Chain A
Amino acid sequence: MSLNQPHYRSIAATLIRRIVLLAGLCLLAMTLLQAGLAYRSSQAQVEHAVTEIADNSLPMLSLSLWDIEPEVIQRQMNWLAGLPEIGRARVLASTGQVFEAGALSSEVGGDTPPTHTLEIVAPQGGKAVGQLQLWVDPSYLYHQILANTLTIAAGYGVFTALLCLVVAWMLRRDLQQPLQQIARFAAELKPQEISRPLVLDRPRSDHLDEIDLVTQGFRQLQGELQSHIANLDGLVAERTQQLEKLIGEVHRLSITDALTGCFNRRVIEERLPSEIERARRYGRPLSVIFADIDHFKTINDTHGHAAGDAVLRDFGTLLLSQLRNQVDWVARYGGEEFLIVLPESDLVHARQAAERLREFVGAQPAVWEGMFIPRTASFGVAQCGPDEGVADLLSRADAMLYHAKNEGRDRVEVSG
């Protein structure tokens, strides 16, 4: 894995991260809004509650003040101070007595003025018998807002967590797992098994989804790849055939003498050693015949090179036609000299073959532009000895040809 390649992070993780971020922002906004609203409503609520409490406790206080029931008044103070909304309660009797209960949590000792002050009138009306002073507990408002806001925040948090869980679960089931299967399948797919179908391990559904589309696309891609590969194979086979044909032609040309249609001298070098080797291995005879057109220089000089070429071509054709097909072969050794290789032939058979060729050449003159050109040929025959190499064999045959030339031409001389 290259250093430049970014780290892997699943879409589900990214999505959940985004949801959490967004939910967090929403939560913050909602909490602030809720806190603001709660502050306003709680303030009004507390104001209302305290006013109501004060109004409700007035008749009782009026009675207990009028009847002079200090314990009842003190109890009333304790009850008032015990209410969550109220931090401190105090009654100042007109006759000088003071009853109070509770202490403000925020109060450090300074006497803050009461938030609510009410006159207590005697039960039968008329004159005031005292004054009720109430201090709203500031921490109550704070706690109220806190409780209110925390409840909303907790609910929202739980909702977000559930949402994330569902998203994570669905993404994992419907997206991550199938995609990973597809990725694994694609990574493991080999060219030779391109047709292996993509099968996903996922619950069956009545509907198609994106994953199904991807799977279908994948199968289509596999099918097209497969047919494309099959076409390529056919094309390669065709071209290979054409090329082999071409190569065969080139090879044939490279071993054929263009003028006479016989093998050229290179074939002798390539093929003769292996022929000798094979004959020796199987204990079979092998003979060679050197053939040379007599007085070819005179023909060339008399009738021109074109006539010489025609004589040469005719001589090659004649040799080829008189040989055993598939077994014997003939190559132009150079100039007007040809080498005939006769596998499976001993010296006797080779001499017969050479005699038959000599007679045939002598009996059929070459024809060139309506003109008969008589010709003869000399032959040197040799059978390959048991340990004889190519050079020695050819040398012995060539010596026989030379001997035949010296003995008057149009004759066959056999070595040994």
Chain B
Amino acid sequence: MSAALYRLFLLLMMTLGLLGPAQAVSVTFINPGRSNEAYWVAAASAMAQAARSLDLQLEVKFAERDHLKALEIAASLAARPPAQRPDYVVFSNDYATGPEILRLLNGSGIKGMMAFSGIHGADRRLTGGPREKYDFWLGTLEPRAEDAGYLTAKMLIEKGRRAQLRGSDGLLHVIAIAGDRSTPSSAARNAGLQRALAEASDVVLDQIVYANWSRETALTKSRWLVRRHPDARLIWAGSDQMAFGAMQAWREHADVPGKDVLFSGVNTSTEALKAVRSGELSALAGGHFMAGAWALVMIHDHAKGRDFASSEGVELAVPMFILFTPPLAERFMQRFEGDGKALDFRRYSLVLNPRLSHYDFDVGDLLR
């Protein structure tokens, strides 16, 4: 009885909506990271800028790296009264929460957009792809993680050659500090590293260790690696934090980062950007934090009736990563951390730019 009345009420509202001024589309982002974590704060901040630029109403919920909390957030969204439910939810598959979030949101009327990381491997059998098992799951937007590994490795090797940091055997010795063994983005970054290594005949990988994205673990393990591989002068890291952990170990060994030993990392934390500027970090790739912001562009267009499925497909792997040179790092810090002028995301919208036929998400372009 009340459900029938409610539907009638909705129908009335929709009719009124057509006649009256359009209400802002609401989006909730289930942020898997911590509210004080540079990368995820940057991701949320970029999304906030995009929302402002695109007239979207954004709500960010931090799961604090607790996968149960991420599920709680999803459940609470679905449990809200329909009027208070967001129109769209942006979520990730970090800590493999994707399948469960999909299940929780199913039937709530909320449309879902997966960003930052998608569902691969065994879980895929549970969920299928976007719009297969779950209609409300519109699509996935992933940064092409392999680029991060490849770009940083290429740059690291190049700088190593230039600095002549060869071992006694005349080869460049690389140590890799990877994130973990299971996350797809970690594997993709490693694959990028391996591709770059394969392309260079004068480089040898002494060892790859896993530091679980932790600066502390990277420090501990690097203290071993310093002694174990005295010839290794190029330290590739899967993240900026792990690069800094390793850096400390080599410093303790009286090596000067950027001079005796070269380091590379991924992410656009302030610390990392400053290290690029100071030369301690020889290579830094970033830009994938923009995945959420780019997803908002696609949601904006979708809400306006332009579905990306036909032109872009439902699963997008976008080359978001760029290498940060010191000037680029400078500019990035000004744009995202200072009180600089608002970024314009409208120019990436296909709806607002009818002459564009495809999305072209380029952070470098944004910073120009």
Contact = CB atoms under 8 A, between A and B. Distances in A.
Interface of A: 66-68, 70, 93-97, 129
A94 B228 contact: yes
11 contacts: A66-B207, A68-B220, A68-B224, A68-B225, A70-B220, A93-B224, A94-B228, A95-B223, A95-B224, A95-B226, A129-B228
Contacts of A97: 224
Contacts of A94: 227-228
B177 to A, nearest CB: 10
B61 to A, nearest CB: 33
A127 B10 CA distance: 73
Max chain B Cβ within 10 angstroms of own Cβ: one of A67, A70, A96 = A67
Interface string B103-119: 00000000000000000
A70 B223 CA distance: 12
A97 B249 CA distance: 14
Contacts of B209: 67-68
B210 interface: yes
B221 interface: yes
Q: What DSSP secondary structure best describes chain B's contact surface?
A: helix
A171 to B, nearest CB: 78
Given A67-B209, A95-B223, 13 more contacts: A66-B207, A67-B210, A68-B209, A68-B221, A68-B224, A68-B225, A93-B224, A95-B224, A95-B226, A95-B227, A95-B228, A96-B227, A97-B224
B285 to A, nearest CB: 25
A123 to B, nearest CB: 10
B230 to A, nearest CB: 11
Interface string B216-254: 000011011111100000000000000000000000000
Interface string B294-315: 0000000000000000000000
A247 to B, nearest CB: 137
B235 to A, nearest CB: 14
A129 B206 CA distance: 14
Nearest to A97: B224
**Most chain B Cβ neighbours within 10 Å, of A66, A68, A70, A96:** A68
A32 to B, nearest CB: 53
Contacts of A129: 228
Interface residue range, chain B: 10 to 19
B229 to A, nearest CB: 10
A97 to B, nearest CB: 7
A406 B207 CA distance: 187
Nearest to B223: A95
A394 B265 CA distance: 180
Most A CB contacts (10 A, CB to CB) among B207, B221, B227, B228 go to B228
Contacts of B225: 68
Nearest to A66: B207
Contacts of B210: 67
A201 to B, nearest CB: 86
A62 to B, nearest CB: 13
A129 B209 CA distance: 15
Contacts of B227: 94-96
Contacts of A66: 207
A129 B224 CA distance: 10
B338 to A, nearest CB: 40
Contacts of B221: 68
A94 B225 CA distance: 11
B219 to A, nearest CB: 11
A333 to B, nearest CB: 161
Contacts of A67: 209-210
A96 B253 CA distance: 14
A167 to B, nearest CB: 73
Nearest to A93: B224
Nearest to A95: B227
A249 to B, nearest CB: 143
Q: Which 6 A-B pairs have the closest CB atoms?
A: A95-B227, A68-B221, A95-B224, A68-B224, A95-B228, A68-B209
Nearest to B208: A67
B343 to A, nearest CB: 42
Contacts of B223: 95
A301 B227 CA distance: 178
A129 B228 CA distance: 8
Contacts of A95: 223-224, 226-228
A70 B221 CA distance: 9
Contacts of B207: 66
Contacts of A96: 227
Contacts of A93: 224
Nearest to B211: A68
A213 to B, nearest CB: 91
Contacts of A70: 220
Interface in B155-204: none
A120 to B, nearest CB: 13
A67 B220 CA distance: 11
Nearest to B221: A68
Contacts of A68: 209, 220-221, 224-225
Nearest to B217: A68
A67 B208 CA distance: 8
B242 to A, nearest CB: 13
A406 to B, nearest CB: 179
B262 to A, nearest CB: 21
Interface string B280-298: 0000000000000000000
A173 B224 CA distance: 83
A68 B210 CA distance: 9
